[in-house]
Structures are given as C-alpha cells and as structure tokens.
Amino acid sequence: MAIPVEEWYYEVPFITRTYVTAAVLTSLAVQVGLVNPFQLYFNFDKIFYDRQLLSPLSNMLFLGSPLAFTLVYIWSRRNPFIRLNFVGLFVFSAPFLPWVLLGFSLLLNNVFPVGDVMGIVVGHVYYFFEDVWPNERGRRWLKTPQLIVRMFEGVQVDQLENEAAANPPTNNT
C-alpha cells in the first residue's frame, strides 16, 4: 500500500524535512531561472569581504547532480533485483541505473559529467563502508554518532513506550 506524499512528508523528522524542502526549492529556483547558479557557490572573498553571509547556506543546499547520483547509486546497489525501464527503450537491473543516467547525461550535454561521476564515486565509497565492509569485517566505519541520530530522528518509539510505562493511564470507569 502506497503512502500518500503528504503523509510521508510529515513523517520525516523536522530537520531532515526542512533540509529537503530547502534543497528542492533552491534547485527549482535555479531551474526556473529565479536564481543564478553562480550566486550559490562558496566564495571566501564574497562571504567575508562583501558580507554575503547566506552564501555558505545556499551552497550547502544546492548540491544538485552529485548528490542525486550518490543517492541513486546507493539505492540501486541496495535494490539489485528491481527491473527498470528507461524511456521505454531499455530494460535493466537497478545496479545499472547510475551508469545509464551517466550515459544519458553525456549524450544530452555532450560534455563529460564530472559532477555525476563524483556522485557515483562517493556513493560507491559510502555503499562499500556501510554495506559491504561490515558484512565482511564486522565493523561499521561510517556509523553515525548517537547525538546526531537523536537530533535527526527525533523521539523514538522505545522512548514513547518508556514514557507510557512510567505514566500508565488512569481508569475512570
């Protein structure tokens, strides 16, 4: 059963929801032409000498293609048996999706997509150290610190159960 987009959106933790919303709105603003991409890049001189203090924030939000390719690569490696159809012409397994998209990007832009390749490399490094290495060696090198986990995931179910056990409901009948 599919989850409606609105329900899914509000189930995502607040910080993650805020970041994703800002990233999508920033990317849309660039695609529509409301913002020039050169206004979003990190420039030390502009930040500290021209006092453009929001530039680092906008740079963090506008990661664009490399971030998308990283996420696509990780998803495709974790779902190897899913069959995909690309433009109604090609049917392939999910692990080939980043490479198909890379070829399509190269075909459309006629320029080697360095950012897309960087996204694939970063995705591969993450996938290797998060999924492959722990299965082989038993240690997770990229384990998220608990402080950050609590900050982004919010209140967990086990915390709610502990509170409910500590404060049982009263029976008014």
Amino acid identity at 72? V
Contact 116, 103 (CB under 8 A): no
| Predicted TM-score (pTM) above 0.75 | no
Q: State the pLDDT at residue 73.
A: 92
pLDDT of 164 higher than 70? no
pLDDT in tens, 12-59: 778 778 877 887 887 788 778 887 777 666 666 766 777 766 666 666
Q: State the pLDDT at residue 148.
A: 79
pLDDT confidence tier of residue 83, bands split at 50, 70 and 90: very high
Contact 55, 46 (CB under 8 A): yes
**Residue ranges of the alpha helices (H) in 3-145?**
5-11, 14-32, 44-48, 55-61, 64-78, 97-109, 114-127, 133-137
pLDDT in tens, 55-78: 666 666 566 678 788 888 998 999
Give me the numbers of helices (H) and strands (E) for the chain, helices first please. 10, 2
pLDDT in tens, 137-161: 878 888 888 887 877 776 555 555 5
